[in-house]
Amino acid sequence: MSAEQLGFEGMPRRLYTCTPSRLNAWLDCPRRYRMTYLDRPMPPKGPPWAHNSVGASVHNALAGWWKLPVEQRTPETAGRLLVRGWLTDGFRDEEQSGRQRDRARAMVERYVAGLDPEDEPVGVERTVATRTDRIAVSGRVDRLDDRGAELVVVDYKTGRHVLTADDARGSLALALYAVASSRMLRRPCHRVELHHLPSGEVAVWEHTDASLARHLGRAEQIAAEAQDADEAYRALRPAERPRPGEALDHAPFDEVFPPNPSALCAWCDFSRHCPEGQRAASRKEPWAALPAD
């Protein structure tokens, strides 16, 4: 029964609790969103991705490096942290894992060599959060720097493709991190940076208050759509809800959580449960996104 039927029309809607990843999942593919955030138990995923193992290993090594005493923050230490915490999921075999580990170690050591170990960040792997009258959003920042009068959001990237200022400008996550960091720490935060470790390139964007407000408004619009879909899902009786991994191709349910088939379906964790996604693209091998050995 709706709020209007209960006589509560006009009451404020509950805040939609989300992360940038949840908002982007809805934007990318409502069906994948449903399988990730609503279906319980969650449908089984495909094999883990090797590039995710690389990214997580690098992030963990850099986070651990900043936690060390200043005198221990050397490139060699960063390399040892990378090796010690190396994740092996998704690789074709031990030989491939070893080659990529050595590459990642060199990448981390080279990156750290360009940092000032005494330039203490405001936060490392820090959770930031904020709310509006519509959403409560939170996320974890790789690094939050103090650059004099302002804070700077730093995000590490380890993928094959070099990023540009347009990537930094268009990132909903980075903009929301900047807003949340500024509100939590009561300091301006307009600059966001993507640090691409394989190339050493840094993609930068200087937001304005207006551009950050536009990103926040966009997040609220996405959240409103997702919240409507969430409520439609919860309104179903348990027997009407999909079984884990079930596509449910019939209306009206699939009108709420339609698939969005494209070439990107080759990288979807739930492609095995989505006929449209399988027709759009065959799933890649777990190591397909790695750079050539």
Distances (CA, A) of 57 to 18, 88, 97: 25, 9, 12
For the chain, the C-alpha Rg in angstroms (whole number) is 21
Asked whether the whole model's pTM tops 0.85, one would answer yes
What's the confidence (pLDDT) of residue 104? 98
pLDDT given at position 242:
61
Please state the three-class secondary structure of 98-152 as a single string.
HHHHHHHHHHHHHHHHCCCCCCCCCEEEEEEEEECCCEEEEEEEEEEEEECCEEE
Residues 173, 75: Cα–Cα separation, whole Å:
29
Taking 50 as the pLDDT cut, the residues of the chain under it are 1-8, 249-251
Using CA atoms, how far residue 81 sits from 25, 32, 62, 200, in Å, is 32, 34, 8, 20
Q: Mean pLDDT of all residues in the chain?
A: 92
CB–CB of 85/60 below 8 Å? yes
Spell 64-80 as b/e; 16+ CB within 10 A means b: bbbeeeeeebebebbbb
Side chain identity at residue 104, one-letter code: A
Considering Cα of 113, then 114, then 119, then 125, what sign does the dihedral take?
negative
* Residue 201: DSSP 8-state: E
* Integer Cα distance of 201 and 186 in angstroms: 30
Tokens of 55: 């990214």
Quote the tokens at residue 135: 């959403």
Per-residue pLDDT, 120: 97
CA angle 163, 57, 73 (to 5 degrees): 90
The whole-number pLDDT of residue 5 equals 44
Say what the pLDDT of residue 4 is.
Answer: 44
User: Domains of the chain (ranges plus CATH)?
Assistant: 50-113 (no CATH), 123-215 (3.90.320.10)
Rounded CA-CA distance 50/291 in Å is 11
Amino acid at 279: R
